[in-house]
Amino acid sequence: MKALVTGISGFVGSHMAEFLLARNVEVTGTIRHRSRMDHIRHLKDIRLMECELRDPFSVEHLLTEVKPDLIFHLAAQSFVPTSWNSPMDTITNNIGGQVNILEAVRKLGLPAKIQLACSSEQYGHVEPDEVPIKETNPLRPLSPYAVSKVCQEYLGYQYFKSYGLHIIPTRTFNHTGPRRGENFVTSNFSKQISDIEKGKKEPVIHVGNLTAKRDFTDVRDVVRAYWLALEKGEAGVTYNIASGTCYTIQEVLDLLLSYSHIQIEVKEDPARLRPSDVEILLGDYQRFHDRTGWKPEIPFEQTMQDLLNYWRAQP
Ligand code: GDD
């Protein structure tokens, strides 16, 4: 069994590669010339190919070489605030990259099963009586990032319908764990706490909107879900991947602070507030559970502890 993981050097990509290697799957991953290799340096048995996903020739060459049975399409500009600062970059990266992959699979006639990393951000504005959110909920995206993910998913549907490609979009709610990029809230707070503990920073933690509610799943549960999506999921059907529980960001902050022995002052940083923030994301993963048996296994407290310890172990 051969798998292609786009964005293998990223947070989810590195965990996906570990999961696949443990199952004796042959793993090829895409990197770009400026990719940071820290997360995958320990993985000796993966094949890395330099590929610019926005370049159709580069992607066609990649797929001709690899001919994967499974494609986990994880590469993306995935930080919501960046999508307001550079909307066009997010749109061209996320949509253009995926068009090139689907086109190459179609042209080469590959029978690959393809998972698309779509997002709960696609739901955007959610009414109070719409939680927990089912896949049938209307999509009301609130950021260029969310719009790019809606488009990625619809392209997947279109290629499934038009050409019969075996495509499974996963709408994943927030996910975190060791190696989470330092921009994202759980990692950002953990890194700030760890820097304070190391004496690298004054005992003040800077925060943005603490009232938002998010549904967090451990990344190690998420990559297992992606595997099951391709093993057992129905082509052309979208699945929520979520924990079914949500926390305010204030609660996330309080939990992380409770793991530290230092007294830390909390300060709002206006630069961390967004033009529009999704108020609540709480997912219903029943459809995916019914199809695959998946449910999250790692408790949130464990994930947060592991994440904080990850930052504490960094130089
Ligand atoms: N990043 C960040 N930094 N967010 C903060 C901060 C802060 O200092 N303070 C409060 N927040 C709030 C944000 O306003 C948002 O409501 C929430 O914390 C989570 O922010 P992020 O961790 O940046 O994630 P996100 O919810 O915007 O998006 C993540 O989840 C999506 C799935 O729902 C990303 O992982 C996306 O790529 C993913 O698709």
Q: Are residues 250 and 137 in the same domain?
A: no
Pocket test for ligand 1, best of 78, 145, 174 (most atoms within 8 A of CB): 174
Assigned domain for 287 exists: no
User: At 88, which CATH number?
Assistant: 3.40.50.720
- Token digits of residue 10: 């990223």
In residues, how long is the chain?
315
Q: Kindly report the pTM of this predicted structure.
A: 0.98
Query: Does the CB atom of residue 212 touch ligand 1 within 6 A?
Result: yes
Mean pLDDT across 131-145: 98
pLDDT at residue 197 in the model? 98
Q: Are residues 70 and 183 in the same domain?
A: no
Mean pLDDT across 173-200: 98
pLDDT at residue 84 in the model? 96
pLDDT at residue 138 in the model? 98
Q: Are residues 164 and 193 in the same domain?
A: no
pLDDT at residue 149 in the model? 98
Measured from the Cα of 143, ligand 1's closest atom is: 27
pLDDT at residue 201 in the model? 97
Measured from the Cα of 76, ligand 1's closest atom is: 37
pLDDT at residue 245 in the model? 98
Domain residues for the domain of 192 are 178-214+245-281+298-312
Q: Are residues 59 and 185 in the same domain?
A: no
pLDDT digits (tens, 9 = 90+) for 223-252: 999 999 999 999 999 999 999 999 999 999
Residues 68-107 as b/e (b if ≥16 CB within 10 A, e otherwise) read bbbbbbbbbbbebbbbeeeeeebbebbbbbbbbbbbbbee
pLDDT digits (tens, 9 = 90+) for 58-75: 999 999 999 999 999 999
